[in-house]
Amino acid sequence: MCGIIGVTGRPSAVDDILAGLRRLEYRGYDSSGVVAVLEDGLGVVKRSGKLDRLDAALATAPLAAATGIGHTRWATHGAPTDANAHPHLDPAGRVAVVHNGIIENYRALRDDLAGAAFTSDTDTEVVAHLVARELDGPDGVDLLEAVRRVSGRLEGAYALCVVSADEPDTIVVARRQAPLIVAAVDGVGLCASDVAALIEHTDTCAALLDGQLARIRPDGYTVVDADGTAAAADEFTVDWDLSSAEKQGYEHFMLKEIHEQPVAVAETLLGRDDGAGNVTLDELRIDPSELARIDKVFILAAGTSLHAGMAGKLAIEHWAGVPVEVEVASEFRYRDPIVTDRTLVIAISQSGETTDTIAAAEHARAQGAPVIAISNVVGSTLARAADGVLYTRAGPEIAVASTKAFTTQIVACLVLALHLAQRKERLFASEARDVLDRLDTLPALVQRVVADDTAVLAAAERFKDVGYTMFIGRHGGLPIAYEGALKLKEVSYLHAEAFPAGEMKHGPIALIEPGSLVVAVAHDGHVFAKMVSNIQEVRARGASVLAVATASSRDALAEHADVVLTVPDAPHELAAPLLTVLPLQLYAYHVAVLRGADVDQPRNLAKTVTVE
Ligand code: AGP
């Protein structure tokens, strides 16, 4: 959730840090700060609010240094004030720390520092005190060893980045659960919480593994394990260029990313089989024969990724013939799930850093279940922890509201369902190739939908002030009803909720009255007639109905709905959600813009939730 960047070896270090923090804004934050290692000690500027405030403060008090670290904070302990903004220093001002995560035992550690003066309410500040005490201790340790000793006393999740006035060209980092990457290029040492902050400097990074630390200097970095022994970080190449993280002319990242979906879907489909229909995964670190024995699947995720999993469930049960439970990740490990070594866990996470999803997957793995990750970030914590990975190849998703990740996650689920069906010998390669050939028509169909949002914009203008919207759907339309409701509420702040259309009579229909708005996802297929009945029921009670239809269902809906948003027929019924979601993404976007909401960084939300 917080953003970290460190630079050593460049006279413009502070400018580089500010630029990097701006690339991390999408993570959501409410304060920011910079510390520079000056000739006469540490220089610190930090402010609550947006980066513009920090920029303005630096303009009046510039920090000229070749080494520094920066931070954008999303408050967890302590309100978003100047004092609570990172970095945090020890009382003598010789050590500065920025941190992403939660140190769960910080109060006990503070208690051990009886008499120490603290200037903030944060958990992070205690780290600066402890590191300084190690440096001032009798052993004469250096910064890396001091941070290593301190990090061994911390409980919880952290990505730490530390500088000291005594080692002016050195940055030390440590990670447990919260992501950290390091790089060294052309005499400059770098670290950051994610690649977006570094892609203008390098395309080769290394991800620290849990428990690892690194000392970064202009001539390179050294990685050690928690016990101090030399180690190797997980090096990877980033194929995102800087422009792909910019808006490329769109008003908002959300709109840009909606329009990137044709390419994202095409990329995610690319090379998924050997040409003859034998479907493969990006990385598989378990024996394929294990998958043949699977007799149960759990799909674990949060938010939009959970809704993609709901669509994935239908495909896995249809092709692989295995029962699938889709579960909110944050619930899974706090109950008693029945997990055996024949249970497969599919963990879906765009960022690959969602604590709830990672923790749930690790909980299942600890009970013997193999884990396959579907993630959009190469080298993410979830991807590296899993036994198999399918990357969604959607490119950086900057907007908090997830769009292209969602459609590519459904593609990945379809591919994975085919792969599982083949491992269980339920699908011939030729049949899988036929399905993939049909799915290969999706990018062009997605392009047709996003290319013309005239009807969607008209609907948004008509309904933008409706205070409550009910979304309904059945089978493949139900995940889209949930996703459409989430999109609308998270970017426009209007209340919206989704129900299985078959549930209406069991309660929700009591909400319907003249003026109600119901969004009905009604693609052609085996439950279409039932959707028409549900639409008639709410219409008879005075609701306005905004229907999402496919070309084959449009005419039958025209007489029952007030507005019909039409998408092309899907190449397979299980792929229909990829198309029916598009008008609802655009609808949520336009309503939010019309209402003047902060589309890319909605209030209270962060792009990645790396705390419980
Ligand atoms: C969706 O628009 C939200 N940004 C949120 O629900 C998100 O999908 C959820 O936090 C999961 O994130 P992940 O895919 O990175 O794990």
Do 526 and 589 have their domain in common?
yes
Could you say which of 431, 449, 467 is where a domain stops?
Answer: 449
Q: What is each CA distance from 355 to 99, 180, 274, in whole angstroms?
A: 16, 15, 35
Residue pLDDT, tens place only, 192-204? 998 889 988 998 9
Query: Alpha-carbon distance 261 to 245, whole Å?
Result: 15
Instruction: Tell me: pLDDT of 246 over 70.
Output: no
Residue 293 has a CB neighbour count (10 Å cut-off) of 14
Identity of the residue numbered 527: V
The answer to whether residue 500 is domain-embedded is yes
The answer to whether residue 247 is domain-embedded is no
Query: Alpha-carbon distance 388 to 367, whole Å?
Result: 17
Q: What is each CA distance from 53 to 8, 64, 604, in whole angstroms?
A: 24, 18, 19
Rounded mean pLDDT, 155-180: 93
Do 343 and 435 have their domain in common?
yes
Could you say which of 449, 466, 483 is where a domain stops?
Answer: 449
Rounded mean pLDDT, 456-480: 97
Rounded mean pLDDT, 237-263: 80
The residue whose CA has the least distance to atom 9 of ligand 1 is 303
Number of folded domains that form the chain: 3
The answer to whether residue 498 is domain-embedded is yes
Say if CB 71 and CB 27 are below 8 A apart: no
349 lines ligand 1 (CB under 6 A): yes
Residue pLDDT, tens place only, 378-427? 778 898 889 998 989 887 788 999 999 999 999 999 999 999 999 999 99
The answer to whether residue 445 is domain-embedded is yes
The β-bridge partners of 207 are 181, 234
Say if CB 550 and CB 414 are below 8 A apart: no
Query: Alpha-carbon distance 103 to 154, whole Å?
Result: 6
Backbone angles phi, psi at 380, to 5 degrees: -70, 160
Residue 247 has a CB neighbour count (10 Å cut-off) of 16
The answer to whether residue 612 is domain-embedded is no
Residue 242 has a CB neighbour count (10 Å cut-off) of 11
pLDDT at 28: 64
In the structure, what pLDDT confidence band is assigned to residue 267 with cuts at 50, 70 and 90? Answer: confident
Instruction: Give me the torsion for CA of 281, 283, 287, 292, rounded to 10°.
Output: -20
The residue whose CA has the least distance to atom 5 of ligand 1 is 303
Domain hosting residue 551, numbered range: 452-594
User: In 2-108, which ranges are E strands?
Assistant: 3-8, 31-38, 41-48, 67-73, 88-89, 95-103
Identity of the residue numbered 232: A
Residue 598 has a CB neighbour count (10 Å cut-off) of 13
The answer to whether residue 121 is domain-embedded is yes
Do 376 and 504 have their domain in common?
no
Cβ neighbors of 19 (< 8 A, separation 6 or more) are 200
Do 442 and 461 have their domain in common?
no
In the structure, what pLDDT confidence band is assigned to residue 449 with cuts at 50, 70 and 90? Answer: very high
CA 608 / ligand 1 centre spacing (Å): 7
Ligand 1 atom closest to Cα of residue 301: 16
Residue 30 has a CB neighbour count (10 Å cut-off) of 18
Do 265 and 357 have their domain in common?
yes
In the structure, what pLDDT confidence band is assigned to residue 377 with cuts at 50, 70 and 90? Answer: confident
CB-hemisphere CA count at 13 Å for 371? 26
CA 249 / ligand 1 centre spacing (Å): 25
Q: What DSSP state is assigned to residue 441? A: T
pLDDT at 30: 84
Kindly state the percentage of the chain with pLDDT values over 70.
Answer: 97
564 lines ligand 1 (CB under 6 A): no
The token duo for 518 is 């119901």
Q: Which of 226, 466, 412, 187 is nearest to 301 (CA)?
A: 412
The residue whose CA has the least distance to atom 6 of ligand 1 is 303
The token duo for 364 is 């299942």
Query: Alpha-carbon distance 309 to 324, whole Å?
Result: 10
Q: What DSSP state is assigned to residue 114? A: T
Query: Alpha-carbon distance 118 to 191, whole Å?
Result: 27
Do 479 and 583 have their domain in common?
yes
302 lines ligand 1 (CB under 6 A): yes
In the structure, what pLDDT confidence band is assigned to residue 504 with cuts at 50, 70 and 90? Answer: very high
Q: Which of 36, 37, 76 is nearest to 54 (CA)?
A: 36
Instruction: Give me the torsion for CA of 192, 196, 202, 208, rounded to 10°.
Output: 40
Q: What DSSP state is assigned to residue 79? A: -
Instruction: Tell me: pLDDT of 215 over 60.
Output: yes
The token duo for 338 is 């029945």
Do 387 and 434 have their domain in common?
yes
Q: Which residue has the tokens 């980066």?
A: 51
Q: Which of 81, 121, 73, 133 is nearest to 99 (CA)?
A: 73
Query: Alpha-carbon distance 353 to 357, whole Å?
Result: 8
The answer to whether residue 611 is domain-embedded is no
Do 350 and 410 have their domain in common?
yes
Residue 179 has a CB neighbour count (10 Å cut-off) of 26
Instruction: Tell me: pLDDT of 245 over 90.
Output: no
Query: Alpha-carbon distance 550 to 572, whole Å?
Result: 12
Query: Alpha-carbon distance 425 to 237, whole Å?
Result: 35
Rounded mean pLDDT, 309-316: 98
The token duo for 527 is 């439950």
609 lines ligand 1 (CB under 6 A): yes
Q: Which of 534, 530, 536, 519 is nearest to 485 (CA)?
A: 519
In angstroms, the first-to-last Cα distance of the chain is 11
Do 416 and 561 have their domain in common?
no
403 lines ligand 1 (CB under 6 A): no
The answer to whether residue 608 is domain-embedded is no
In the structure, what pLDDT confidence band is assigned to residue 563 with cuts at 50, 70 and 90? Answer: very high
Rounded mean pLDDT, 434-461: 96
pLDDT at 475: 97
CATH of the domain at 330: 3.40.50.10490
pLDDT at 462: 98
**CB burial string 425-440: b at 16+ within 10 A, e below:** eebebeebbebbeebe
Q: Which of 336, 234, 350 is nearest to 303 (CA)?
A: 350
Query: Alpha-carbon distance 197 to 4, whole Å?
Result: 8
Ligand 1 atom closest to Cα of residue 608: 15
580 lines ligand 1 (CB under 6 A): no
Do 439 and 479 have their domain in common?
no
* Marked catalytic residue, from 2, 161, 191, 205: 2
In the structure, what pLDDT confidence band is assigned to residue 545 with cuts at 50, 70 and 90? Answer: very high
Say if CB 319 and CB 427 are below 8 A apart: yes
Is 191 in the active site?
no
∠605-606-608 over CA atoms, to 5°? 140
Cβ neighbors of 295 (< 8 A, separation 6 or more) are 322, 323, 342, 343
305 lines ligand 1 (CB under 6 A): yes
Do 583 and 552 have their domain in common?
yes
Do 12 and 149 have their domain in common?
yes
Q: What is the mean pLDDT of the chain?
A: 93
Ligand 1 atom closest to Cα of residue 609: 10
The token duo for 510 is 């009591």
375 lines ligand 1 (CB under 6 A): no
Ligand 1 atom closest to Cα of residue 490: 2
pLDDT at 78: 65
The token duo for 298 is 């759990």
Is 607 in the active site?
yes
